[in-house]
DNA sequence: ATGACCATGTAATTGGTTACATGATTTA
DNA sequence: TAAATCATGTAACCAATTACATGGTCAT
C-alpha cells in the first residue's frame, strides 16, 4: 500500500522521503497516514526492487536523498492502479464499539455518541475549509479525481453525522433510510 | 481490538474460540474480520492477564475449551467501551487509488469505477437482506445498537454508490453536496 | 540561543495475516 | 464414504506503529 502511494507521489517529480511524507499528508492525509518508520524502509525496498533510483544531493552539510521513479516503477504503479477495487474491507473500531452499546449505561453511551458527533462535525469543518481552498483555483479539471476524494470525505462525514444524531435520539432505525431532508 | 471484541462476545455466555469466531462473523463480520491465527493467541493472552478463565469440556474425543469472562475482564471491557471515540482514522485503499486516477487512462478508470459501483451494489443487496431478517423480529429494542451498525453500513454504502455514479459521469463535484435526490 | 522545522534512519513492539498441521463429527 | 463443518493450534511472515537517536538549518 505505502509502496504504491510513494511511487504515485514520485510520478511527476523527484522528491526526498521527507517531501513524500509531506505530499501524503497534504494529498491524502484525510484518509491515509504514513510514518517515517514505515516510509523510509519502504523507499529502501522500492530501490532494491529497482522501482526507484536515488540521487544524493546534500545541501550544505545536510543529507538529502532524492528518489526517482524508474520505468519498472511506473509499470508497477500502473499495475496497482489498474488492479480491481473490491468494496471497503477495512475494520472500523467505532462501529465495533457501538455494536456493544446495548450493554453500556445510557448516560455514558449518549455521551460517547455526542462526542463522536462533535468530532465528526469538527472534522467536516476542516474538510470544508480544504474544499474552499480548492474551489478558488481555475484548473480544476486537471485534478478532478484528486478532488473527488475530498468530496467523498465530506459526503461520508455528513452521512456519519446524520446517523449519529439519529441513533443518539434513538429514533426508529428504519427512518434512517427514508431521506428527504 | 480483537481482545476487546472477544471479551464483548463473552459477556452473555461462555463460548469456545470457534464459537467466538462465528459470533464475530455473524455479528460484526460486515466491518470486522478475525482469523483463528489472531483469535486463539488473543484468547491465550486474555487468559494470562486474568480476564478469562477456561473450562475444558471435551465432547467425545473432540477437544473443546469454553472461555468465561472474569470480573476483571468485564471491567477491562467496559473500560474499552467507555474510552473516547475519535473520528474514523483508518486507511482507505480505494480512495488512495482514486486520488491517482487523473494519471490513469480514461477507459480503465471508468471500468474501475463501474466495477467498484457494482461491488458496492452487491454489498448493499447483502446488507438489505440481513436487514430484512431483523425487521421480522419483535424484540428489536434489546439490540437497537447492534442493529444500528447494520444501518450505518447501509447508509454509507448508499452514499458511496451515489458518489461513485457521480464521479463516473464526471459531473461537477460541487453538485455532490446539494442533495435533493 | 531557542524553537520550529528539515532530514534520515533504527529498534522494539503491535497486531495482525496466510498457510500449515492435526484430527473429530456430522450430513448428504 | 466423501465433503462439510467443528475445533485447536503453530510458524513464517507482513506492514505498520511508537519511541529513540542524530544532526542541520532558519527565523525570531
Q: How would DSSP label each residue in A112-142?
A: HHHHHHHHHHHHHHHHHHHHHHHHT-S-GGG
What is the per-residue pLDDT for A94?
84
Using pLDDT thresholds of 50, 70 and 90, give the confidence band for residue A141: confident
Q: Which residues of B touch A136 (CB under 8 A)?
A: none
Among B12, B17, B18, which Cα is nearest to B46's?
A: B17
Q: Has residue A142 got a pLDDT over 90?
A: no
pTM attached to this predicted model: 0.91
pLDDT recorded at residue B167:
96
Any chain B CB within 8 A of the CB of A108?
Answer: yes
Distance from the Cα of A25 to chain B's closest Cα (Å) equals: 12
pLDDT higher than 90, residue A111 = yes
A44 touches strand C (CB under 7 A): yes
Kindly state whether A40 is in contact with chain B, defined as any CB-CB distance less than 8 angstroms: no
A78 neighbors A58 (Cβ within 8 angstroms)? no
Distance separating alpha carbons of residues B4 and B7, to the nearest angstrom: 5
CB-based contact, B104 to chain A, within 8 Å: yes
Reported as type and span, the H/E element at residue A106 is helix A106-135
- Kindly state the cell numbers that stand for B36: 483463528
Q: Does B118 reach chain A within 8 Å, measured CB to CB? A: no
Facing residue for B115 by CB, picked from A84, A92, A167: A84
Instruction: Report which secondary-structure segment, H or E, holds B150.
Output: helix B144-168
User: Which DSSP symbol is given to A13?
Assistant: S
**Burial classification of residue B139, based on how many CB atoms lie within 10 Å of its CB (0-12 exposed, 13-18 middle, 19 or more buried):** exposed
User: Which bases of strand C sit closer than 7 A to a protein CB?
Assistant: 6-12, 15-20, 23-25
Confidence of residue A87 (pLDDT cuts 50, 70, 90): confident
For chain A, say whether B129 makes contact (Cβ under 8 Å).
no
Q: Is there a contact between B154 and A177 (Cβ–Cβ < 8 Å)? A: yes
- B91-126 pLDDT, tens digit each: 788 889 999 999 999 999 999 999 999 999 998 998
The rounded mean pLDDT for chain B is: 91
B26 touches strand D (CB under 7 A): no
Helix A36-48 to helix A17-28 angle, to the nearest 10 degrees?
120
A149 touches chain B (CB under 8 A): yes
Cell numbers given for A28: 491524502
- Quote the longest CA-to-CA distance of chain B: 66
| Cβ-defined contact of A81 to B89 (cutoff 8 Å) | no
For cell 486474568, the residue is: B50
Between chains, do A32 and B179 touch, taking CB under 8 Å as contact? no
Q: What is the mean pLDDT of residues B35-60?
A: 94
* Residue to substitute from B97, B171, B172, interface A, most A β-carbons within 10 A: B97
| Short-list A172, A152, A158, CA closest to A117 | A158
- A23 vs A105: CA distance, rounded Å: 43
pLDDT tens per residue across span B49-68: 999 999 999 888 888 999 99
| List of chain A residues whose C-beta atoms are within 8 Å of the C-beta of residue B94 | 85, 88
Q: CA A181, CA A116: separation in Å to the nearest integer?
A: 22
Residue B30 pLDDT: 85
What strand order describes the sheet that includes B52-56? B15-16, B65-69, B52-56
Q: How confident is the model at residue A98 (pLDDT cuts 50, 70, 90)?
A: very high
Rounded CA–C1' distance between A49 and C4, in angstroms: 36
Helix or strand run (H / E) with residue B56: strand B52-56
Task: Find which nucleotide's C1' atom is closest to B62's CA.
Answer: C24
Element (H, E) at A74: helix A71-82
For chain A, the average pLDDT equals 91
Would the pLDDT of B87 be above 60?
A: yes
Amino acid at each position: 500500500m505505502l509502496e504504491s502511494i510513494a511511487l504515485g507521489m514520485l510520478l511527476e517529480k523527484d522528491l526526498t522521503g521527507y517531501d513524500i511524507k509531506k505530499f501524503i499528508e497534504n494529498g491524502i492525509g484525510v484518509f491515509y497516514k504514513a510514518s517515517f518508520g514505515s516510509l523510509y524502509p519502504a523507499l529502501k525496498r522500492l530501490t532494491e526492487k529497482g522501482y526507484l533510483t536515488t540521487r544524493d544531493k546534500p545541501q550544505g552539510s545536510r543529507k538529502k536523498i532524492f528518489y526517482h521513479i524508474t520505468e519498472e516503477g511506473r509499470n508497477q504503479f500502473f499495475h496497482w492502479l489498474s488492479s480491481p477495487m473490491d468494496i471497503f474491507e477495512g475494520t472500523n473500531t467505532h462501529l465495533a464499539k457501538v455494536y456493544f452499546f446495548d450493554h453500556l449505561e445510557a448516560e455514558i453511551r449518549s455521551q460517547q455518541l455526542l462526542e463522536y458527533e462533535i468530532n465528526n462535525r469538527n472534522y467536516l469543518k476542516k474538510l470544508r475549509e480544504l474544499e474552499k481552498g480548492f474551489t478558488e483555483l481555475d484548473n480544476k479539471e486537471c485534478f478532478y479525481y484528486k478532488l473527488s476524494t475530498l468530496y467523498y470525505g465530506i459526503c461520508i462525514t455528513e452521512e456519519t453525522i446524520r446517523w449519529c444524531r439519529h441513533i443518539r435520539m434513538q429514533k426508529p432505525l428504519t427512518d434512517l433510510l427514508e431521506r428527504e431532508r
